[in-house]
């Protein structure tokens, strides 16, 4: 898979392994996650049946501040924000409403937001943090793995650690000791000791 340091699908059936490598590639690309995961090892045992995936996050996306998509200008009445991209407008408005109250936030058009509080420092406003994309990252990865894994594997165990994750799924009960051993073994493949 492009952009990944290590990617391996392990399965006794080579045709199945090859197809699942393609499925994982398609789904991670669709969800824009292929640049965020550095190492991924998928283990499939069709006999048990069991689907296991362990991986390492390559880079966490940075925090988004108001300055990243808008510029602030101080006026007599308050601060005027000139919006460059609307992607984060909604979470920004929520934060401004909660901080200053709805009455004092005016939006005359799509690309302008006025904070009607005199004496505000525009630099302070620009430095406000709006979104932390890493919060949704693990959620997105687990969703992607649910999609990659065969349907009907409803018995699941997911773990999230410091920059790494695991996902185990089956239609049968998961034996805790065996699963732990297997996870340890597969985590070693991606260079993680648990």
Partner 1 sequence: MTVLVPITYKGGVYRHDIIIDLIDDLGGYIVQKHMIAQEVVLQSLVPKDDIELIRKISRPLAGVVYEAPLVGTEIAVVSPSLEIHHLPHTSCDVAEYLRSAGAKTNMIGLARGFGKRIANLNIEERDIINEHDCAVYMLGNFESCIEYKMPALRKGITVPIILTGRPPTEALQRIIDPPVDGSVGGIGRIGHRTKQQEGEIEHLDRLVEEVARVISQKREEVAKDPLSVNPARLMAVLDDAMEITKGSTHPTPIVVQIRALRVKLPYDTYADAIAAIEIENGVKIGDITQIFPSRMRDYILIRIRPFSETKILV
Using CB under 8 A, list all residues that contact partner 1.
11, 13, 15-16, 19-20, 22-27, 30, 44, 46-47, 49, 147, 150-153, 171-172
> Omega into 49 within 30° of 0, i.e. cis?
yes
Residue (35 or 107) nearer to partner 1, CB:
35
Please, what is the end-to-end C-alpha distance for the chain in angstroms? 25
Residue 63, beta-bridge partner list:
none
Residue (23 or 106) nearer to partner 1, CB:
23
State in angstroms the smallest separation of the CB of 131 from partner 1.
26
Residue (49 or 61) nearer to partner 1, CB:
49
Tell me the C-alpha distance between 91 and 93, whole Å.
Answer: 6
3-state secondary structure of 16: helix
State in angstroms the smallest separation of the CB of 11 from partner 1.
8
Residue (46 or 91) nearer to partner 1, CB:
46
Contact 145, 167 (CB under 8 A): yes
State in angstroms the smallest separation of the CB of 69 from partner 1.
31
State in angstroms the smallest separation of the CB of 169 from partner 1.
11
Residue (43 or 88) nearer to partner 1, CB:
43
Please report where in the chains the tokens 């901080």 appear, as a residue.
99
Tell me the C-alpha distance between 96 and 99, whole Å.
Answer: 5
State in angstroms the smallest separation of the CB of 140 from partner 1.
15
Q: Which of 42, 31, 32 is nearest to 7 (CA)?
A: 42
Neighbours of 155 (CB within 10 A): 12
């Amino acid at each position: 898979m492009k952009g990944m340091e290590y990617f391996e699908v392990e399965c006794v059936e080579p045709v199945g392994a090859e197809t699942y490598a393609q499925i994982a590639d398609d789904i991670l690309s669709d969800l824009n996650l292929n640049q965020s995961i550095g190492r991924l090892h998928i283990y499939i045992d069709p006999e048990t049946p069991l689907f296991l995936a362990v991986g390492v996050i390559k880079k966490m996306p940075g925090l988004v501040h108001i300055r990243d998509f808008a510029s602030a200008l101080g006026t007599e009445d308050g601060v005027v924000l000139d919006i460059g991209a609307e992607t984060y407008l909604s979470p920004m408005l929520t934060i401004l409403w909660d901080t200053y109250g709805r009455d004092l936030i005016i939006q005359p058009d799509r690309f302008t937001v006025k904070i009607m509080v005199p004496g505000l420092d525009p630099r302070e406003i620009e430095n406000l943090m709006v979104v932390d994309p890493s919060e949704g990252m693990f959620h997105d990865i687990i969703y992607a793995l649910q999609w990659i894994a065969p349907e009907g594997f409803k018995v699941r165990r997911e773990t999230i650690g410091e920059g790494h994750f695991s996902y185990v799924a089956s239609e049968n009960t998961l034996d805790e000791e065996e699963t732990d051993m297997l996870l340890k073994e597969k985590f070693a493949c991606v260079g993680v000791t648990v």
